[in-house]
A = this chain, B = another copy of it.
Amino acid sequence: MNDRYLRLLGLAGEIHDLASTMGLLEWDQEVMMPPRGVEGRARQRATLAAVLHDRMVDAELGDVLAASAASADVAADPWAAANVREMARQRDRAVKVPRELVAALAREGTLAQQAWVAARQHDDWARFAPHLATLVDLKRREAAAVGYATEPYDALLDEYEPGAKAADLAALFARLRDGLVPVLDALRGAARPPTAALWRGDFAEADQDILGRQVLAAMGYDFAAGRLDVSAHPFTQGFNPGDVRITTRYDVHDLQSGLYANLHEGGHALYELGLPAERAGQPVGAAVSLGIHESQSRLWENLVGRSRPFVSWLAGEMAAVWPERYEAVDPEALYRAANVVSPSLIRIEADEVTYNLHIIVRMEIERALVAGEVQVADLPALWREKVKAYLGLDVPTDREGVLQDIHWSFGLFGYFPTYTLGNLYSAQLFAAARRHLPDLDAQMAAGELGDLLGWLRANVHGPGSLYRADELCVRVTGRELSVDPFLDHVRRKFGEVYGVAL
């Protein structure tokens, strides 16, 4: 391979080192840092962000990228071509967004986040609204700077789901909504709906930690390449394929909360751990999109974790930790209790069926905001209107409505759709895995998940960013992303659990 391309890999590797060091500053802040360290940490992050930005827009990187893009050697090697494609995409964005805009977004984001915390706490939309208006304005400027063919929202979406277009997603999500609303109506009429009571009780954190580690070990998570800690909100942080860390949080009265957080974050972590180690530090060695990332967390959380065979295995593990609570429990009853569908106001508490309706509410609102079709002042009423329409619920307070999520206060617009993309990809990928693994149900019932992980590694994790997300989907599942596998899964599972025809 020619020298310019090798130099490109060197520069990209340094950018990866600095970005993953930023990741450590963030992980440590959430998990380990003492409270009085916050001011110094903000300075460290600001300085490192500036160093990273300088590296990204550096002229030499532009030169070697251009030379590599013109190289026949590179064109002949799909991994090299993908490296050039991904690095160019990231650099183009960094070059196009003026430094003062980046700084303004960081500054206003910090203020907006503080305002959001207070606004949510006091259910006081007016405290947050002016900050949100500023952020929307800045994000519209960012979209204009990045450029777009059809609508500004595409430019924001592209940061999280490269290549995705708002109009395509809107069409996909409309089909999903049209499929889900009748499901929800039918479930409402069920004669014997399940309840989650079997998952409630008193569960010491230390005992939940034992169960969580057993489940993660069964999934194939390697504790020699990671950690499990507690933080306010569960998250996964991967630095390289030898160090991918998970956090969770435990509710001492509700076992599902921490356990399914472990499965969810464990799924994210297995993806990061399965990225091609020999490409570590290269753009092609990174996660391809947030949608694919979320597909892995949702696959383990819902397709595996809330399946009948896996819950029957779980029941045994739970009985070993809490014999008095679980020894006499019927695994079938536990399975039903893990699959309660109930429209609720809060996205992060939503079930498999209603979750995507929360996302559709958000995407419709933020797409219109970024297009300038609605104003920040309209949001509380618009939120109520859409939640009523899709979930059939009245929103009593903004705290349980438009103020519930942190994302917009960080300036994250275009991020929410990747959650639903993750759900759709998870069902389509899991259906493909099933076709290749005829013994999967028996394996899940035995807590043997190695074949599934092996299939995911070979087909989803191992390619890294070699293919774009939509291409990967076609290669692995034989067809473009569709709402059908997800709707099939939902209808089959919940029709049976609720005893209704779907």
Chain A: residues with CB nearer than 8 A to chain B?
A: 13-14, 17-18, 20-21, 24-25, 28, 32-41, 43-44, 46-48, 50-51, 222-227, 239-243, 245, 280-281
- Docked complex Cα distance between A243 and B493 (Å): 50
Least Cβ–Cβ distance between A99 and chain B, in angstroms: 15
- 7 nearest A-B residue pairs (beta carbon): A37-B243, A40-B240, A36-B242, A17-B47, A36-B225, A17-B44, A37-B242
Task: Let me know if B243 and A17 touch, CB within 8 A.
Answer: no
Given A17-B47, A36-B224, 15 other A-B contacts at CB below 8 A?
A13-B47, A14-B47, A14-B50, A17-B46, A28-B28, A34-B224, A34-B226, A34-B245, A35-B225, A36-B225, A37-B240, A38-B242, A39-B240, A40-B240, A43-B240
Contact of A243 among B36, B223, B240, B241 (CB under 8 A): B36
Task: Let me know if B24 and A242 touch, CB within 8 A.
Answer: no
Q: Which residues of B contact A28 (CB under 8 A)?
A: 24, 28
Least Cβ–Cβ distance between A264 and chain B, in angstroms: 20
Task: Let me know if B21 and A44 touch, CB within 8 A.
Answer: yes
Q: Which residues of B contact A245 (CB under 8 A)?
A: 34
Task: Let me know if B36 and A239 touch, CB within 8 A.
Answer: no
Task: Let me know if A33 and B243 touch, CB within 8 A.
Answer: yes
Task: Let me know if A13 and B43 touch, CB within 8 A.
Answer: yes
Task: Let me know if A280 and B34 touch, CB within 8 A.
Answer: no
Give the nearest-CB partner of A13 in chain B.
Answer: B43
Task: Let me know if B41 and A243 touch, CB within 8 A.
Answer: yes
Identical chains bound together, number? 2
Least Cβ–Cβ distance between A280 and chain B, in angstroms: 7
Can you name 8 A-B pairs with beta carbons within 8 Å? A13-B47, A21-B21, A21-B47, A32-B227, A34-B242, A36-B225, A37-B243, A43-B240
Q: Which residues of B contact A223 (CB under 8 A)?
A: 34
Q: Which residues of B contact A47 (CB under 8 A)?
A: 13-14, 17-18, 21
Task: Let me know if A34 and B243 touch, CB within 8 A.
Answer: yes
- Docked complex Cα distance between A451 and B226 (Å): 44
Least Cβ–Cβ distance between A470 and chain B, in angstroms: 30
Q: Which residues of B contact A239 (CB under 8 A)?
A: 37, 40-41, 44
Task: Let me know if A243 and B40 touch, CB within 8 A.
Answer: yes
The interface centre, meaning the residue of A241, A243, A280, A281 with most chain B CB atoms within 10 A of its CB, is A243
Task: Let me know if A18 and B243 touch, CB within 8 A.
Answer: no
Give the nearest-CB partner of A225 in chain B.
Answer: B36
Task: Let me know if B242 and A39 touch, CB within 8 A.
Answer: yes
Q: Which residues of B contact A227 (CB under 8 A)?
A: 32, 34
Contact of A18 among B37, B39, B48 (CB under 8 A): B48
Task: Let me know if A25 and B36 touch, CB within 8 A.
Answer: no
Q: Which residues of B contact A48 (CB under 8 A)?
A: 17-18, 21
Given contacts A28-B28, A44-B17, contact A37 B225 (CB under 8 A): yes
Contact of A25 among B14, B21, B33, B38 (CB under 8 A): B21
Give the nearest-CB partner of A38 in chain B.
Answer: B242
Least Cβ–Cβ distance between A105 and chain B, in angstroms: 20
- Docked complex Cα distance between A242 and B48 (Å): 19
Give the nearest-CB partner of A35 in chain B.
Answer: B224
Task: Let me know if A44 and B20 touch, CB within 8 A.
Answer: yes
- Docked complex Cα distance between A39 and B245 (Å): 16
Task: Let me know if A20 and B40 touch, CB within 8 A.
Answer: yes
Least Cβ–Cβ distance between A287 and chain B, in angstroms: 16
Q: Which residues of B contact A36 (CB under 8 A)?
A: 222, 224-225, 242-243
Given contacts A34-B226, A35-B224, A224-B35, contact A51 B240 (CB under 8 A): no
Give the nearest-CB partner of A226 in chain B.
Answer: B34
- Docked complex Cα distance between A39 and B17 (Å): 11
Q: Which residues of B contact A50 (CB under 8 A)?
A: 14
Least Cβ–Cβ distance between A73 and chain B, in angstroms: 25
